[in-house]
Copies of this chain bind each other. A is one copy, B any other.
């Protein structure tokens, strides 16, 4: 699939994979995000984090999710963008300072809409992996993807 031309529902197939670039995560980013959105000691305070469940600083799961979204937006070339209705998210391991993340998105299912013939619902599994290919996040989501407009067929 050519990443430079916009992709419509018609272009997708089950099993297609999209690999993102990398995001380097450091402690400063983790603390900054957590201070605003997830102010708990295991995300914001290196000293206090040692005595917690995580035994050291870990990124907020929502920070891992937000970075993953950035990586998906950059690597999935859908013409209408990444419009998610929701999904199932899990964090099998904490994301740590100094890790380098990338995302691999795979198409699991494509279902054309019955009520709205211009679109379909695409189920995507997105795995967020660190530099050792350890799984930091699994997200399975349903995305709205439009079909190619009919007047584009002749171009």
A contact set with B: CB distance below 8 Å: 33, 36-42, 52-53, 60-62, 65-67, 69-70, 73, 80-91, 138, 144
Contact = CB atoms under 8 A, between A and B. Distances in A.
A18 to B, nearest CB: 16
A54 to B, nearest CB: 8
Given A61-B84, A86-B91, A67 B37 contact: yes
A101 to B, nearest CB: 13
Given A53-B81, A65-B65, A86-B88, 16 more contacts: A36-B66, A36-B70, A37-B70, A38-B69, A38-B70, A40-B73, A53-B80, A61-B86, A62-B65, A62-B66, A66-B66, A85-B90, A86-B89, A86-B90, A87-B89, A89-B89
